[in-house]
Amino acid sequence: MQRHVDYAQRHGVDKDGGPARPFTDTGELTREQTSQFVDRAEPDRHSFRFIVSPEDGASLNLEGYTRALMQQMEQDLGTKLDWMAVAHHDTDNPHVHIIVRGVDDKGGDLVISRDYISNGMRERARELATRELGYRSDIDIYRSAAKEVTQERWTGLDASMLREQQSRESGLIHAGKVHADPFRNAQRQLRLQRLAILRDHGLATEQMPGRWKIHANAPEAMRAMAQERRLATELKPHIDAERSRRGLLADKDSLKAAPVQGVILDRGFADKLSGTEYIIVGGFDGQVHYATLSMHSERHMPERGRIGDTVELGTYTPPAATSADKNVLRRLKSGVYLPDAHLAEVKAWDPKRLPANATPESYIDAHVNRMEALASRGHVTKLPDGTFRVPADLLARLDGDPAIARDKNSFVRLDVKAQGSLNRQSQVIGRTFLDDQLAAGRLEQLKNTTIRTRTQMQLLDALEARADRLVDLQLAQRTPAGVRLKAGFDDELRDMERAMVQKHQVAGLLKPHLRAERSQSGRLADEKSLETSGPVQGVILDRGQADKRSGAEYVIVAGFDGQVHYATLSAPSERHLVERGQISDTVTLYSYTPPVATAADKNVLRRLQDEIYSPEAHLEEVKEWDPKRLPGNATPESYIEAHVRRMDALAHRGHVTKLEDGTFQVPADLVERVNADPTLSDPKRAFVRLDVLGKGPLPQQSQVIARTFLDEQLAAGRLEQMKGATSRTRTQAQFLEALEARTDRLVALRMAERTPVGVRLKAGFDEDMRGMELGEAQKRLASKYGQPVNLDVARRFQGTVEAIENLPSGPHAVIVQNGTFAVVPAKDGLQGQLGNTVAVQLAKGQSMNQSFQSVRIRFAAMDVLDKGKSLGLTRS
């Protein structure tokens, strides 16, 4: 929508060659009002775009004429229309671009029949023009036809004669009779002149004196002739400048056989009425190529190609399979698609997941219509109950169907291989189009070409410069056979690119923090450096977006080591946290390589019966789950299939054994075996991970009644180390003050004492602090939930999860039953059970007051009760 509006209101289309002036029924639109129209139209399922080109448009007030036409359309269609238009005066025939939103005045889909668009609207436009200008005079009609006699294109005069030919029984045009009426005789002369020109082109024949026949291929041939003439006109200056011997039309057929690579020399409008664009490419094959671009040609790119960009022209055919086909395949039950089950699922979705203006019913109707269409082609089978039997290889069948292949609309597609000049590409630190050309031996090929075009010379120069650059970077070497790229070229160049980008980015981001911290050292903390030098502990000073495309973020940490650290966080960096790190939080950064064992491995281990995993038993369990527990769009069947595929893969590596009945024999130490398998490990999987050690500013942490990061530092003698430092950064000074304040707090609580060698924590410190933390929480919650339960005594408690409380040591669940309640760590999925009934139990030998770093709670059983039915969620 935005691109079409941009085209319609481009500069230079006004009468005086000035900027466009968009308008609607209420007057001209400001830039802000035009943007608001685009925003309103963007969610619409469709829109209508018309070009109205009255024959004598220069004599009309096009704005008033358009408003009258749109008012008439509103009366015909019985609804108010939301539209905008722009009058174009930059062609021989002034015309109007009209854009109509695809919604009616009630918010429903606007429907306009093909017949109304093709005939009704045309007739209304003609009536309005006639009412405004009156009927055309004979002299106007003659002058219009006279202009078309010698034109090398398919004209209105040609079309009128062809209509006459098709309407006569003889199938011939009668042009021989001399008329007494001077006007009709003058028209006869024009027709004979035009027919003679068509005859000279081999497109018309005089069958007998005065009786002519226009050949069937005449319209297409004349259009091709017009295109060829326009092509020659457009290409000639570029062919001359390129010193090329020929220009070629790059269409779908030629590009399918051989894509074209080269540099954009020019682009413009092939048809100003429709907005169709052309592009001229100086090919690396030594030829100049002209291609007409459709609305789809550049839709896949964030930016369209610009003059000077390196591009590839090719043909693209959309895949035969649709998103509906893939949706259906994901929801098969024993090979059958159940529309009713799909509808029930979709009704539970957030409405935002549905396409614009779609209802659950219309969404499923679209899927059913698609299945019925495929059933008519024999790809699926419609069953008597309205369900469909769908083969698992449906996508492959569709791609191999010749009938569907014929129906697929291929088009010319343009891909930008590199932005900017070839010479600029030669110096880039990063993988470029030129590297691909060097690897393919293109430099040697061009050296051996005796006559080169301008673009080929530019490519040769750029390849030489690129080779020099890569040799300097020790990423390539010149050999007698040509340039040879180093083994591991891509990885090393990618690392260089990332390091360069990060260096510039890090320097700019760290500068103000280095000054504020009074630190002399800024450092990039990536997975490699953290693996080598160890974790970094400190306080978050800043965080923000590092890469818009990937969504990666950066974090700046003032380390307790006196340095300021910059780290890039990927999606998994904080995935394990309940709440990501915030500015002022105390954190640690370290290199983390995730274990090779997957969640599926652990799910399987929890369901072993005598070391046997039964997919069927697992499926029966999952079918009883609340569907919200399943990931994404998974069904119980697809969820279990993923587990089976994982077991098959591990059986292939000898870690499990697949039995004849489809079950698997799985060793109890599967996780350890998988994690120790060197063939499954991948060092590239390492990433920077962030753990939050303490929430909020350091002074706030010093007063907390709970085990804190500061307590660990006191126990490790960090207070004495910090006192011995001669100079400190701002964060180190705050850290020292927090340690002193924490010592005072613990001494006041009788949990520590100062000694000549430092601070000594009380024996049983962890359990006592944990007991104090829980006691404070229970005291605060008692007025709301009743009598607290001591799990150290009760060992097991069942109730409803009423709330999640964020205590200093982490989130805790409040489980309530009959005026009593327990506060337990919110682990093993407990956070997602608000409102559900659960049973929790202390593991044997465990205490509620043990260190918050150890596992305090194990779920011996956790049955989630929903509408009186157990969903069988078990934890062991």
Tell me how far apart the alpha carbons of residues 694 and 584 are, in angstroms, rounded to a whole number. 9
**What is the predicted pLDDT for the residue at 790?**
84
Q: What is the layout of strands, in order, in the sheet containing 612-613?
A: 612-613, 664-665, 657-658
Residue 506 maps to a domain: no
How far the first Cα of the chain sits from its last, in Å, is 55
**Confidence category of residue 381, pLDDT binned at 50, 70, 90:** very high
The reply to whether 150 and 127 lie within a common domain is no
Q: What's the token pair of residue 95?
A: 């015309």
Q: Give me Rg for the CA atoms of the chain.
A: 38
Range with the lowest mean pLDDT among 306-310, 527-531, 618-622, 853-857? 853-857
The reply to whether 6 and 117 lie within a common domain is yes
Q: 823 and 814 in contact (C-beta within 8 Å)?
A: yes
Q: Which of 852, 525, 527 is nearest to 694 (CA)?
A: 852
Q: What is the mean pLDDT of residues 307-335?
A: 89
Residue at which a domain ends, from 637, 655, 681: 681
684 burial (CB, 10 Å; 0-12 / 13-18 / 19+) is exposed
Beta strands in 56-105 (DSSP E): 83-88, 95-101
Residue at which a domain ends, from 293, 318, 343: 318
Q: pLDDT for 612-655, tens place per residue?
A: 999 999 999 999 988 878 877 788 999 999 999 999 999 999 99
**What is the predicted pLDDT for the residue at 811?**
84
Which one has a higher pLDDT value, 356 or 651? Answer: 651
**What is the predicted pLDDT for the residue at 856?**
35
Residue at which a domain ends, from 532, 563, 592: 592
Phi, psi of 12 (to 5 degrees): 95, 10
Tell me how far apart the alpha carbons of residues 568 and 832 are, in angstroms, rounded to a whole number. 29
Percent of residues in the chain assigned helix, strand, coil, to nearest 5: 40, 20, 35
Q: What is the mean pLDDT of residues 705-729?
A: 92
pLDDT at 838 over 50: yes
The reply to whether 629 and 651 lie within a common domain is yes
Q: What's the token pair of residue 617?
A: 């038993």
Q: pLDDT for 850-859, tens place per residue?
A: 433 332 333 3
The reply to whether 232 and 288 lie within a common domain is yes
Q: How far is CA 47 from CA 138, 290, 298, 684, in A?
A: 39, 30, 20, 47
pTM over 0.75: no
**What is the predicted pLDDT for the residue at 191?**
86
Q: What's the token pair of residue 621?
A: 């369990």
Q: pLDDT for 126-176, tens place per residue?
A: 888 777 665 555 666 677 777 888 888 888 888 889 998 999 988 999 887
Q: At what angle do helices 156-167 and 218-242 cross, to 10 degrees?
A: 160
**What is the predicted pLDDT for the residue at 466?**
94
pLDDT at 308 over 80: yes
Which one has a higher pLDDT value, 742 or 321? Answer: 742
Q: 394 and 321 in contact (C-beta within 8 Å)?
A: yes
**Residue type for position 729:** T
Range with the lowest mean pLDDT among 259-273, 564-578, 649-663, 837-851? 837-851
Range with the lowest mean pLDDT among 507-521, 543-557, 756-770, 842-856? 842-856
**What is the predicted pLDDT for the residue at 716?**
92
pLDDT at 873 over 50: no
**What is the predicted pLDDT for the residue at 654?**
92
Range with the lowest mean pLDDT among 48-52, 79-83, 208-212, 771-775? 48-52
Burial 461-482 (b: 16+ CB within 10 A, else e): ebbbbbbebbeeeebbeeeeee
The reply to whether 184 and 225 lie within a common domain is no
Beta strands in 376-530 (DSSP E): 381-382, 388-389, 411-418, 476-479, 482-485, 522-524
Tell me how far apart the alpha carbons of residues 353 and 351 are, in angstroms, rounded to a whole number. 5
The CATH number given to whatever domain includes residue 228 is 2.40.50.140
The reply to whether 200 and 87 lie within a common domain is no
Residue 876 maps to a domain: no
Burial 423-441 (b: 16+ CB within 10 A, else e): eebbebbeebbbbebbeee
The reply to whether 28 and 88 lie within a common domain is yes
Residue 507 maps to a domain: no
Q: What is the mean pLDDT of residues 828-837?
A: 75
Q: What is the mean pLDDT of residues 203-231?
A: 89
pLDDT at 744 over 90: yes
The reply to whether 724 and 796 lie within a common domain is no
Q: Which domain holds residue 191?
A: 138-216
Residue 687 maps to a domain: no
Q: pLDDT for 772-797, tens place per residue?
A: 999 999 999 999 999 999 887 777 88
**What is the predicted pLDDT for the residue at 259?**
93
Range with the lowest mean pLDDT among 261-275, 741-755, 790-804? 261-275
pLDDT at 861 over 50: no
The reply to whether 574 and 612 lie within a common domain is no
**What is the predicted pLDDT for the residue at 404?**
62
Tell me how far apart the alpha carbons of residues 630 and 644 are, in angstroms, rounded to a whole number. 16
**What is the predicted pLDDT for the residue at 667?**
94
Residue 43 maps to a domain: yes
The reply to whether 566 and 610 lie within a common domain is no
Q: pLDDT for 463-498, tens place per residue?
A: 999 999 999 999 999 999 889 999 989 888 888 887
**What is the predicted pLDDT for the residue at 853?**
32
Q: What is the mean pLDDT of residues 743-759?
A: 93
**What is the predicted pLDDT for the residue at 862?**
35
Q: What is the mean pLDDT of residues 753-764?
A: 92
**What is the predicted pLDDT for the residue at 383?**
95
Residue 414 maps to a domain: no
Q: What is the mean pLDDT of residues 298-304?
A: 84
Residue 413 maps to a domain: no
Q: What is the mean pLDDT of residues 22-51?
A: 86
**What is the predicted pLDDT for the residue at 20?**
79
Give the number of other Cβ atoms within 10 Å of residue 277's Cβ.
19
Residue 582 makes CB contacts below 8 A (sequence gap 6+) with 540, 695
Tell me how far apart the alpha carbons of residues 288 and 235 are, in angstroms, rounded to a whole number. 7
pLDDT at 559 over 90: yes
**Confidence category of residue 279, pLDDT binned at 50, 70, 90:** very high
Beta strands in 527-605 (DSSP E): 536-545, 553-559, 564-569, 586-592
Count up the domains in the chain and report the number. Answer: 9
**What is the predicted pLDDT for the residue at 713?**
94
**What is the predicted pLDDT for the residue at 860?**
33
The reply to whether 297 and 343 lie within a common domain is no
Residue 416 maps to a domain: no
Dihedral angle, C-alpha 199, 200, 201, 207, nearest 10 °? 20
The CATH number given to whatever domain includes residue 523 is 2.40.50.100
**What is the predicted pLDDT for the residue at 857?**
37
Residues across the chain:
876
Tell me how far apart the alpha carbons of residues 834 and 864 are, in angstroms, rounded to a whole number. 10
The reply to whether 425 and 463 lie within a common domain is yes
Mean of all residue pLDDT scores within the chain: 85
**What is the predicted pLDDT for the residue at 585?**
96
The CATH number given to whatever domain includes residue 350 is 1.10.10
Residue 505 makes CB contacts below 8 A (sequence gap 6+) with 546, 554
**Percent of the chain having pLDDT more than 90?**
45
Q: pLDDT for 691-703, tens place per residue?
A: 999 999 999 999 9
User: Which 8-state DSSP code applies to residue 562?
Assistant: S
